[in-house]
Amino acid sequence: MLVRFVVENFLSFQEEVEFNMLAGNFKAHKNHVYNFNPKILRAAALYGANGAGKSSLIKGIEYFKDIIENGRIDGSVNNKKFKLNDQCLTKPISFEIEIIYNQKFYSYGVRLNNSIVEEEWLYETGINTERKIFTRQTSQFGKVEISFDKKYINTPKSKLLIEIFEDNLLKPNELLLSKNKELKIEIITNVRSVLTDNIVIIHPQSKYTNFTPHISESEDFKTFSNLLLKTFDTGVNELKILEVELNKYFGEDDSDLKNSLIEDLDNHQGVLLNEKGIDLYITKNDNDEYIVKKLVSDHTDTKGKQVSFELTEESDGTQRLFDFIPALYGILSEDVTFIIDEIDQSIHPALLKAIISKAMNETDTKGQLIFTTHESNLLDLNIFRQDEIWFVEKNKTTKSTNMYSLSDFKPRYDLDIKKGYLQGRFGGIPFLGDLEKLNWNDYES
């Protein structure tokens, strides 16, 4: 679960900026709060003009995640630095993320410059708590210095391993966190797992490729998906799986593809294949026969007959909803943080408001939902708490991104937040020039 993310000198962020999921002292929507110490929110909506830096925040989290997954920096990070102040070109990029694992808080951070991890640290944190797990520094000459709490390095063998890391085993562009298999320190493995597996980012063009196997293998997920689609009046009566024998689905001209799929199935339970825009799941049935599973949507025609559609034939809005269903299901069932960029793309405002309202009204959730949006209809204190609404804005002088929560303004509970936002009371909206001076008629053909 995400507690906070801090970024500096990355894309549109010049100075250190913090986004957090810490709950304030508000009485509204108590079911939106997880009772850790400190308390953590289960949702956040980020507003801001185009170019303000909303996507830069998500790109920062994703870039940090990619480095952790890869275990190293590939090439120089300098092209990711804030470019509108030449002093930033020599300064490092800084990331820090705080998460919760097993009821405890952990903070992991790095400072990156050129192709070197200059600093790296992992601490157990919390209220009045800061216990070092490890720190690492790399000198300008590439010399690595590592320091662990004695609790973790307490045998001659473990001390020797750290010396080997310092000598040459840990390269200047590699993360110590990525050496979890060699270190065999459980908390390092667990923190890395949370950062790589429990934070899921969904972009405007992202497609959930596991929909077909997920529907096929989980009756709970299938039921949830169908109920959601019916609730929001998409015209879809049911998502269902069609099964076709492999030899019947692919003809003789596809023999090379069939052989390749069968070979892959010898090493995997199932194989995903995108064929002409349609996601297929190739697996074996109970009779050990090779089959192709395809997800289709059933509609009712004017005579009451069921008609099957390919998912690609559905509207853009319904297809976008397909991509959100796993996230909505996930926050109910898993300790996972879903981050969605431009959640309002291709979805009608009324449908989006209904989806978010339903998600926020749930009383039993396990995960978090964070999203960026321009949709002002969601600026409603009947849906969100004040500390769940964030604004992103460019500083007029430095041209860098700032972030702040609605709770900083301490608005009245009965205030029309949407109206106040559109009037510019909270910032985070475009600064429009004088349109009268554009001389539209000069450009008529």
Q: Where are the domains of the chain?
A: 1-198+334-404, 211-314
Say what the pLDDT of residue 425 is.
Answer: 52
Which of the four pLDDT bands, split at 50, 70 and 90, describes residue 323?
confident
Q: How many Å apart are CA 146 and CA 91, to the nearest integer?
A: 22
**Identity of residue 132:** K
Are the beta carbons of 203 and 102 closer than 8 angstroms? no
Q: How many Å apart are CA 292 and CA 271, to the nearest integer?
A: 10
Mean pLDDT score, 229-250: 88
Helices (H) and strands (E) in the chain, counts: 11, 20
Query: Which CATH number among 1.20.120, 3.10.590, 3.30.70, 3.40.50 corresponds to the domain 1-198+334-404?
Result: 3.40.50
Say what the pLDDT of residue 412 is.
Answer: 54
The pTM for the full model equals 0.88
Are the beta carbons of 231 and 358 closer than 8 angstroms? yes
List pLDDT tens digits, range 403-427: 999 888 765 555 555 565 545 555 5
Mean pLDDT score, 25-50: 92
Distance from chain centroid for Cα 161? 35
List pLDDT tens digits, range 144-177: 999 999 999 989 999 999 999 999 889 999 999 9
CB-neighbour burial class of residue 103 (10 A; exposed 0-12, middle 13-18, buried 19+): exposed
Q: How many Å apart are CA 439 and CA 441, to the nearest integer?
A: 5
